[in-house]
Amino acid sequence: MPTESDTHYDPSLGNKFIFVTGGVMSGLGKGITAASTGRLLKNAGFDVTAVKIDPYLNVDAGTMNPYQHGEVYVLKDGGEVDLDLGNYERFLDIDMTSDHNVTTGKTYQHVIEQERAGDYLGKTVQIIPHITDDIKRRIREAAEGTDVCIVEVGGTVGDIEGMPYLEALRQFAHEEPEENVLFTHVTLVPYSKNGEQKTKPTQHSVKEVRSIGLQPDIIVGRCDDELEPSTKEKIALFCDIPTDAVFSNPDVDDVYHVPLVVEEEGLDQYVLEHFELADEALPVGERTNEWREVVTTEKDGDVTIALAGKYDLEDAYMSIHESLKHAGFELGVDVNVSWVDTEEMDDEHAARLREADGVVVPGGFGMRGTEGKIEAVRYARENDVPFLGLCLGFQMAVIEYARNVLGLEGAHSTEMEEGTPHPVIDILPEQYEVENMGGTMRLGEHTTVIEPETLAYDLYGDTSCTERHRHRYEVNPKYFDDFADEPLVFSGTAGNRMEILELENHPFFFGTQYHPEYTSRPGDPSPPFVGLLEVVLDKDNEVAVGDTQV
């Protein structure tokens, strides 16, 4: 809660809730709109949190294919969630838990468990009130201790699987004072062939919302450009809201600029007035300007980083892209990410690798693309190209070194080749008896002990770090002696587990079993990513790409 001296906020005003729905089509940017609203309210001095509702039947996102749903983002408590929660953590600079992600699977599982335990005393268990009550409970518990809770409902209005959630929100609004609840609806405003902004999709979408019993307080129009005054007036007339409650969310070069755009439109002030919080907020001149300063940092040049993975999809590696961008903010450079398909290491992709200033090999699962990742590691190691390996990328670096330096022919991970003669990467001991796939990996925050006088110590500035994990396999302890006295050293450990590797006499060769990308923020970039770019920018360490074949 803001303190009395900060914002004069009166805690008796209670929690405020912003419910964000979307219409017309998915992928419009509801999450960025919601996160941007929260960022502005945080700038005004309020404690803000968020909840993402995912109507799918999965209990969590852990078993979902990145091609369908983007990356699986991992929270500090080990929750495997939708990538939108990563945006919330980055925009709001907060750490969230799995309680901030509500799924149909999670909700139904809990209600059925209660029914099996006899908690409903013989009542017929139904969508209303039992499922809707559980949804409302989850939202209120996630909001506890904060001033404003922003709740994004995934999918689009009208989806069958989303109906119980919209009904729960209708009940929620009925139970709360009017000034404590605000509905934001995000819609598409396309152009006709003659260049006219068309409002009919928005009209139909709002009609669908209203048929469910919800009336938007704010409509945010996603369009290539700002909404024209006549477009706003037409939306307001047909959707029964004031014209000044219609806001533009045009395309921008960087999603981190969206808070600046909607701030100029006056979105934050409208929300504050609706919540009767305008007098409680910090005066405009006293609000933090750090976000604007960070995301509008003047850039001096650019660098190219090769991302060597198997998914030709930015959303699959969203946090890595953002972490590179954060490091670029810190160092004042633009970072161009060049996709290298490790399944197709043909001339085109090999050329992209050679032309890059640095190489990142990301995490992942399964055999597909692993040999290409190993070749990317070898290229970076042999040619003094700055390299960062993350989770599976860390494991691929161990395998590459075992094969090509230690001479352990056929070395591999038992995940990819169960009968490998040299299983330098093997399954975690506690995973032997695991049968279910979902939520059973080594997940969430764990502490790594860092050796002094190492690159890891220089990057973190401490003898330990706490980062998030998501893996089933690790460096096999049976091969520790093979790596002893080698230039490749394990500079970070967690008990008998190898967490960080680095290569001596190399400009930057660094791998982590954990995922440092999950804790990177625009104003607080991840140390390994900053270290990678610092070496790339260091004029004293020219990258020797030469004519090496990949």
> HEC string of 390-414?
ECHHHHHHHHHHHHHCCCCCCEEEC
Report the interhelical angle of 527-537 vs 318-331 (nearest 10°): 60
Residue 320 phi, psi dihedral angles, 5° rounding:
-70, -45
- Is residue 216 classed as helix, strand or coil in its secondary structure? coil
**Beta sheet of 464-471, edge-to-edge order:** 334-341, 302-309, 358-361, 387-390, 509-512, 497-503, 488-494, 442-450, 464-471
Compute the distance between CA of residue 399 and CA of residue 429 in angstroms, rounded to an integer.
Answer: 19
User: What secondary structure letter does DSSP report for 310?
Assistant: S
Whether 223 is a known active-site residue: answer no
CA distance 337 to 325: 10
- Cα–Cα distance, 73 to 51 (Å, whole number): 14
Q: How far is CA 279 from CA 13, 146, 148, 275, 286, in A?
A: 12, 18, 15, 10, 13
- ∠ CA 28-98-63, nearest 5°, is 70
Beta-strand pair 101-103/48-54: parallel
- Kindly provide the residue ranges of all beta strands, DSSP E only, lying in 68-205, ordered along the sequence: 73-74, 80-81, 101-103, 148-153, 181-188
Rg over alpha carbons for the chain, rounded to the nearest Å, is 25
Is 502 annotated in the active site? no
69 tagged catalytic: no
Let me know: does 21 contact 209? Beta carbons within 8 Å: yes
| Active-site residue, selected from the candidate residues 100, 422, 471, 515 | 515
- Name residue 103's beta-bridge partners: 54
The total of other beta-carbon atoms located within 10 Å of residue 99's CB is 16
Contact 262, 37 (CB under 8 A): yes
From 80, 89, 375, 517, the catalytic residue: 517
391, 412, 415, 422: the active-site residue: 391
Catalytic residue list: 391, 515, 517
